[in-house]
Amino acid sequence: MRRAAVAGALGAILLLSACGDDGPDGPTAIGGAGAALPAPTPGAVAEEVAIPPDLVCPPFEGYDGPVADEGIGASAGGAIEVDAGDFFFAPTCIVNPANGTVSMTVTNSGGILHNVSVDEQGIDVDVAPGETIVVDVAVGSEQLVFICKFHRTAGMVGALVPAT
């Protein structure tokens, strides 16, 4: 019975590793520049938002540390949902958040404690595994970087990217 379970697990790993769409530079980001994407799941909304064709995200303006790139998502309104997995935020870049105060819902789908911090705004909230938090973030005309203070050095960084 144990051999069958191990063989099944190895088969699943091989199957999942074959499903990626890796290009010469690694995994392809969600949609790519200029693509029209539905809002990410979680956080889906009914309408589509165009991703600016010149968007490069990451790297982030003013941030030079590592970033675990989990793609670009789009927001269409004053609410944003982000998945905090182990050592990443997904989506990593959220385009078109509404100007003003935005409610960002963060769900920890990982197995360890994570955090959402926006230093410029004094935001520093922990989120336990399986838990969800909501933080109100002020969005202006500049890119706004958020981090997990526990795992920033592992690339757990994201950004809200206003439309240009």
> For the segment 67-87, what is each residue's pLDDT rounded down to a tens digit?
999 988 888 678 899 999 999
CATH 2.60.40.1180 fits 29-161, yes or no: no
Domain ranges of the chain: 29-161
**Amino acid present at 60:** F
The mean pLDDT of 111-122, rounded to a whole number, is 96
141: part of which helix (H) or strand (E)? none
Q: Measured between alpha carbons, how far is 119 from 63 in angstroms, rounded to an integer?
A: 12
pLDDT digits 0-9 by tens, 18-32: 333 333 333 333 333
